Chain A
Amino acid sequence: MTHDNQSHPSFDELNDFVDDRLTPAGRLDLETHLALCPRCAGDRDRLELLLDQSRSLAAEVEPPAEIWSGVHQRIAGRSPLGRRRSWLLAAAALLLVAVSSAVTALLVRRPQTVAVRQSAPAAPLAGVGLPVAARAVDADYQAVIRELDESLAQRRAQLAPETIAKVEASLRVVDEAIGEARHALAADPANRDLVDLLAASYERKLELLRRASELLPAT
């Protein structure tokens, strides 16, 4: 589109101009208009000023002091993951499949169980079809998840049914995200962001299980 003094560029076009997304001809046309139209030139200047200010905002903001105490509480006594050898990780993953199935079977037989959680979609076939980096993430997280999962499963009757329902609904959402990340990784194994995404999903699951465990009465 050409612009004369009667045909002003749209806001989208001004944005494309400052983002350098116009064709050379489109850019030249708009520059010609801006040279003749103080109103549009003013809009462009305001837009560029906004972008300059945005890019120079403070890179750091002082956080509330309680963040570190929360982090410390959650990591104290736990070693970082991901240091074991790959054959050991693979063995742990296989063991997890077996244990996870056994726990599920045990839950199904428990008469006093308020609600029976289906085994998470991410647990079976742990690591199968995933790149090596993702397999390590898979196995590492699932080993920790298993501990919390077992503890929760053994004492779930002590939780109110509505609490169990909420926890299970949240777990299903997270398990779906884990499933999606695993599928995406199977299609794009070299994508490190997807490995991070998978790990972030597991992290969310861990946190949910940890919070659910905290709801259990002290023994």
Chain B
Amino acid sequence: MLTHLDEPETFIAAMPSPPPDRDAERALVDRARGGDVGAFEALYRANVGRVYALALRLTADRRDATELTQDVFVHAWRRLGTFRGDAVFATWLHRIAVNSLFMRVRGDRRRAARIGAPGDDATGDEPPAALDAGYARVVDVEQAVDLERAIAALPPGARRVFVLYDILGYRHEEIARLTGLAEGTLRAQLHRARKLLMEALDR
């Protein structure tokens, strides 16, 4: 269930959705595979808060996060036939989201390389990304908003490593594969992110 906090610039917190009923979920997936958009919408409603949170934290941009979330669900619809019931649907979606995001990042890097644009995010030297919207938690709202804003303001490369490792619990080798970063670079990005966050929260 999602909870809306009625504050102008704050958002919208999220109470975690209840754990899925696997049988009900499987039934919805089966109906959606047959082209039932209503069943797919039910799957969407149950999972979109989590996918959007991931997209927003990784991109730090509401428009990008919105596009990415749309892409993830369109992609999921087209690939429903490959979803095997041995995984939770949310886990399957999560993989699609992370892979879509990093495929997009690689595409952006290629484009930047072609036009000679500086500031590859692997160096983390770009100006901080702006976040025009934020998050809140039902408990510790202000603290969480501060942290979310500080995460959003991190350089993109450092932010992605921090989100994957410290929020989502990915292992170093998994992050290295997704980002293409060497493990030493990855650790440097992670430590840099943590240092910047500690400094930001101390202010």
Binding site for B on A (CB under 8 A): 11-12, 15, 46-47, 50-51, 53-64, 66-68, 70-72, 74-76, 78-83, 133, 136-137, 140-141, 144, 169-170, 173-174, 176-177, 192-193, 195-197, 199-201, 203-204, 207
Assess whether B78 is in contact with A72, with CB atoms less than 8 Å apart: no
Main secondary structure of the interface of B (DSSP, over half): helix
The total of interchain contacts (Cβ-Cβ below 8 angstroms) comes to 187
Using a CB-CB cutoff of 8 Å, which residues 50-83 of chain B contact chain A? 50, 52-53, 56, 62, 66, 69-71, 73-75, 77-82
Assess whether B14 is in contact with A203, with CB atoms less than 8 Å apart: no
B26 within 8 Å of A by Cβ?
no
B135 within 8 Å of A by Cβ?
yes
Q: Roughly how many angstroms separate A195 CA and B195 CA in the complex, as a whole number? A: 36
Assess whether B82 is in contact with A133, with CB atoms less than 8 Å apart: yes
Nearest CB in chain B to that of A210: its residue: B74
Cross-chain contact of B82 among A47, A53, A55, A82 (Cβ < 8 A): A82
Assess whether A11 is in contact with B195, with CB atoms less than 8 Å apart: yes
Nearest chain A CB to B51's CB is how many angstroms away?
8
Q: Which residues of A contact B167 (CB under 8 A)?
A: 54-55, 57
B41 within 8 Å of A by Cβ?
yes
B161 within 8 Å of A by Cβ?
no
A174 in contact with B73 given A15-B194, A58-B135, A82-B79 (CB within 8 Å): no
Assess whether A58 is in contact with B13, with CB atoms less than 8 Å apart: yes
Q: Roughly how many angstroms separate A132 CA and B65 CA in the complex, as a whole number? A: 32
Assess whether A200 is in contact with B100, with CB atoms less than 8 Å apart: yes
Nearest CB in chain A to that of B74: its residue: A74
Assess whether A79 is in contact with B35, with CB atoms less than 8 Å apart: yes
